């Protein structure tokens, strides 16, 4: 930021500002004021052993050993995460969502507490965990975002942005141009065809608003896989109020550089289209809530590693 620029909000010190809800509308939040746990030097989460004297508070994370968990035991003897949601209990996922009484946690062998979620986010995170207590697959989605340090959906109260209704073509054009101005190479492009029955079926059965995905390559071009093959085409083919288009950015560690990814996209141009059997398999996994194992557009978002940027 230029020294002459004025930043909105009330300065709190340490480079932090308190913004009003109206001011927040003008910003894209990538990280909600948290330590960078993806940095190379961060190998283990800071934690402390739990004793009878340990005070636990909402959104503290409890690490403990669950003999019935299918997850492997780590070097500390723990294989399960539980999230403190109020003054009496913590919740964790093992098939269904289970409860731990806070008074019983000091009795668990090797129990530890991790305080990685900023205290200011407690009013947003804890209620959403409680909201999905009886919907295990949605509780899993919450965990996906928490494990990725991706707190924006908790601040907004939803995992997908609401669809926009435009009063006229000019308002739509402004939204489109704003989205284009925000795009960077390797951003995910999620789309939905409002006039397509297939799009509606895909979006409904995979628990989200989108039915197709591509990757932005820069200069107005996206790479996408369709039935006829992998292709690089102008993003403009999805311009128009018939389509809903949203941009997402990767959150956290990346497996390759942007240049390497763009090279892979160019090399893939013209390859055969997707497998119908593979698409059905991915759709079934998404339908039963196994989003971490699926590559449907909505599952890609619900894995918790993307941040919403803009839409039109």
Q: What is the pLDDT of residues 53-62, one digit of tens each?
A: 999 999 999 9
Tokens of 179: 């989205």
pLDDT at 234 over 80: yes
What is the pLDDT at residue 221? 96
Decide: helix, strand or coil at residue 184: coil
Q: Is the dihedral of CA 296, 126, 42, 62 positive or negative?
A: negative
Residue 297's φ and ψ, nearest 5 degrees, are -55, -45
Report the 10 Å Cβ neighbour count for 23. Answer: 13
User: Which is more confident, 255 or 103?
Assistant: 103
What is the pLDDT at residue 103? 95
Domain boundaries, the chain: 48-152, 169-311
Q: What percent of the chain has pLDDT over 70?
A: 85
What is the pLDDT at residue 7? 54
What is the pLDDT at residue 262? 84
Report the C-alpha gap between 259 and 262 in whole angstroms: 5
Closest CA to 209 of 156, 163, 165: 163
What is the pLDDT at residue 54? 93
pLDDT at 42 over 70: no
State the average pLDDT for the chain. 86
What is the pLDDT at residue 29? 53
Report the C-alpha gap between 36 and 150 in whole angstroms: 11
Residue 246's φ and ψ, nearest 5 degrees, are -135, 145
Q: Are 94 and 80 contacting, i.e. CB atoms less than 8 angstroms apart?
A: yes
Q: Which residues pair with 189 in a beta bridge?
A: 214, 247
What is the pLDDT at residue 149? 85
What is the pLDDT at residue 118? 85
pLDDT at 189 over 60: yes
The angle subtended at Cα 120 by Cα 117 and Cα 124, nearest 5°, is 80
What is the pLDDT at residue 1? 39
Report the C-alpha gap between 28 and 159 in whole angstroms: 15
Q: Which residues pair with 82 in a beta bridge?
A: 62
Residue 217: enclosing H or E segment and its boundaries?
strand 212-218
Could you tell me which CATH number the domain at 169-311 has? 3.90.1720.10
What is the pLDDT at residue 16? 57
CA distances from 49 to 46, 62, 84, 118 (A): 11, 10, 16, 20
Confidence of residue 45 (pLDDT cuts 50, 70, 90): low
Q: Which residues pair with 92 in a beta bridge?
A: 98
User: Which is more confident, 9 or 133?
Assistant: 133
What is the pLDDT at residue 259? 86
What is the pLDDT at residue 47? 85
Q: pLDDT by residue (tens digit) across 203-224?
A: 999 999 999 999 999 999 999 9
Sheet with 221-226: strands ordered across: 229-234, 221-226, 212-218, 188-193, 243-250, 306-311
User: Which is more confident, 32 or 147?
Assistant: 147
Confidence of residue 34 (pLDDT cuts 50, 70, 90): very low
User: Which is more confident, 111 or 251?
Assistant: 111
Mean per-residue pLDDT, 229-251: 94
Mean per-residue pLDDT, 20-37: 52
Residue 189: enclosing H or E segment and its boundaries?
strand 188-193
Mean per-residue pLDDT, 3-17: 56
Q: What percent of the chain has pLDDT over 90?
A: 61
Report the C-alpha gap between 236 and 238 in whole angstroms: 5
pLDDT at 236 over 80: yes
Closest CA to 230 of 242, 215, 218: 215
Confidence of residue 25 (pLDDT cuts 50, 70, 90): low
Q: Are 61 and 116 contacting, i.e. CB atoms less than 8 angstroms apart?
A: yes
pLDDT at 37 over 70: no
pLDDT at 143 over 80: yes
Lowest mean per-residue pLDDT among 39-43, 78-82, 110-114, 308-312: 39-43
Decide: helix, strand or coil at residue 128: helix
């Amino acid at each position: 930021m230029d020294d002459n620029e004025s930043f909105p909000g009330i300065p709190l010190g340490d480079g932090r500002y308190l913004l009003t809800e109206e001011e927040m509308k003008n910003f894209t939040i990538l990280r909600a004021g948290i330590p960078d746990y993806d940095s190379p030097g961060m190998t283990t989460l800071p934690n402390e052993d739990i004793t009878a004297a340990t005070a636990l508070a909402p959104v503290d994370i409890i690490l403990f050993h669950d003999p019935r968990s299918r997850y492997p035991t780590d070097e500390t003897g723990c294989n399960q995460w539980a999230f403190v949601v109020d003054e009496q209990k913590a919740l964790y996922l093992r098939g269904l969502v289970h409860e731990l009484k806070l008074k019983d946690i000091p009795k668990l062998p090797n129990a530890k507490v991790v305080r990685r979620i900023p205290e200011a986010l407690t009013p947003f995170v804890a209620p959403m965990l409680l909201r999905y207590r009886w919907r295990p697959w949605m509780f899993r989605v919450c965990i996906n975002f928490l494990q990725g340090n991706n707190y924006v959906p908790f601040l907004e109260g939803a995992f997908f942005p609401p669809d926009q209704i435009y009063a006229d073509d000019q308002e739509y054009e402004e939204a489109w141009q704003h989205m284009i101005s925000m795009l960077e190479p390797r951003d995910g492009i999620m789309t939905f065809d409002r006039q397509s029955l297939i799009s509606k079926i895909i979006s409904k059965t995979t628990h989200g608003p989108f039915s197709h995905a591509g990757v932005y390559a820069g200069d107005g071009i996206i790479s996408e896989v369709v039935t006829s093959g992998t292709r690089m085409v102008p993003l403009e083919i999805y311009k128009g109020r018939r389509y809903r288009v949203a941009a997402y950015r990767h959150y956290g560690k990346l497996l390759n550089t942007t240049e390497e990814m763009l090279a892979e996209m160019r090399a893939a141009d013209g390859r055969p289209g997707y497998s119908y059997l593979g698409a059905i398999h991915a759709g079934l996994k998404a339908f039963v809530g196994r989003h971490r194992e699926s590559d449907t557009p909505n599952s890609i978002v619900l894995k918790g590693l993307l941040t919403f940027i803009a839409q039109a």
